[in-house]
Amino acid sequence: MNIAILSGKGGTGKTTVSTNLVKILKASYIDADVEEPNGFIFLKPDITKKEEVKVIYPLVDDEKCIMCGKCAEACQFNALAKTKKDIILFEKLCHGCGVCEIVCPVGAVHYEERTTGVIEEGLSEGTVCKRGLLNIGEPMAVPVIKTLLKKANEGINIIDCSPGTSCNVVNILQSVDAAALVTETTEFGLHDLKLAVELVRKFNIPFGVIINKEINKHNIIRDYCKNENINVFGAVPYSREVAEIYSKGKMLVENDKYKKIFKNIASEMEVVISWN
């Protein structure tokens, strides 16, 4: 079972929640926030495997090319452009769809591979941890995300998603069975939570909300969830102690008080989400 932990905005504590739930549920951890993965800071796994992620891109054989420009006309992503003297390739815009090779009347287009990122895997006290790392300067994270999720283990996988509701998150949600939305009790948190809720509902998967940095139980997030009939799995209190723990790269569940909180959250999740 794949459970996505996502948030409408960055900085809500999504990775903090993800890594601590992994320990409580004895689940595998998958960091799919490939542009800025930071879950390994807390779990500290010993890396045992690395695999490059490659994508294809077109090359035009100048000796065969008749400068008809059909490849550039067919490309929906503007990765090819026809000038007076040449066909110019913007390789990082290419989605590898293959249409330019199909439409070329003289067979002047062929494909080669380039590396866009890497998948890393390791163990943290028996916990299987995986993450994707997008290479600096690469604009498209989806190929790394798809490769990462293909390698999900049996059992429960906690998937630490990218923040927001971008195409990265959409691609992750296509591979999950349930979701937990992490938010904070601010107007910004509520605004972006609504976007995340709308997205998850489109996928028709069971979900609930986890409130981070909660000051009191009478707040705009709980009111919204009550009105929308959304389950609140639980809340992590606003606390200097919490900030001190995770700022040192430590796990909250190492503290008995917060371990109890995450156990309660996991129990509420089990009511909504069938582990089998």
pLDDT > 70? residue 167:
yes
Of 6-10, 113-117, 141-145, give the lowest mean pLDDT range: 6-10
How far apart CA 103 and CA 109 sit, in angstroms, is: 9
Q: What is the CATH number of the domain that holds 96?
A: 3.30.70.20
Same domain flag for 200 and 81:
no
For the whole model, what pTM was predicted? 0.91
Task: Give the pLDDT score at 227.
Answer: 97
Same domain flag for 144 and 181:
yes
Q: Which domain holds residue 72?
A: 55-114
Task: Give the pLDDT score at 151.
Answer: 78
Q: What is the CATH number of the domain that holds 172?
A: 3.40.50.300
pLDDT-based confidence at residue 10 (cuts at 50, 70, 90): confident
Of 95, 114, 133, which one is at a domain's C-terminal end? 114
Same domain flag for 198 and 241:
yes
Of 69-73, 111-115, 175-179, 272-276, give the lowest mean pLDDT range: 272-276
Query: How far from 226 is each of 8, 9, 45, 198, 232, CA to CA, in Å?
Result: 18, 21, 39, 16, 9
Supply 87's token pair. 């066909």
Same domain flag for 265 and 204:
yes
Task: Give the pLDDT score at 201.
Answer: 96
What is the DSSP secondary structure assignment for residue 252, as one 8-state letter? G
Residues 58-67: tens digit of each pLDDT: 999 999 999 9
State the residue for tokens 């062929």.
110
List the one residue out of 243, 213, 200, 275 whose CA is nearest residue 7: 200
Evaluated on CA atoms 54, 57, 61, 62, the torsion sign reads negative
Same domain flag for 60 and 175:
no
Q: Are 206 and 225 in contact (CB under 8 A)?
A: no
Of 114, 129, 147, which one is at a domain's C-terminal end? 114
Supply 121's token pair. 């895997």
Same domain flag for 123 and 93:
no
How far apart CA 162 and CA 31 sit, in angstroms, is: 9
Q: Chain-wide mean pLDDT for the chain?
A: 94
39 burial class (0-12, 13-18, 19+ CB within 10 angstroms)? buried
Q: How many domains does the chain have?
A: 2
pLDDT-based confidence at residue 275 (cuts at 50, 70, 90): low
How far apart CA 39 and CA 5 sit, in angstroms, is: 12
pLDDT-based confidence at residue 187 (cuts at 50, 70, 90): very high
Of 69, 86, 114, which one is at a domain's C-terminal end? 114
Residues 210-262: tens digit of each pLDDT: 999 999 989 999 999 999 999 999 999 999 999 999 889 899 999 999 999 99
Same domain flag for 237 and 249:
yes
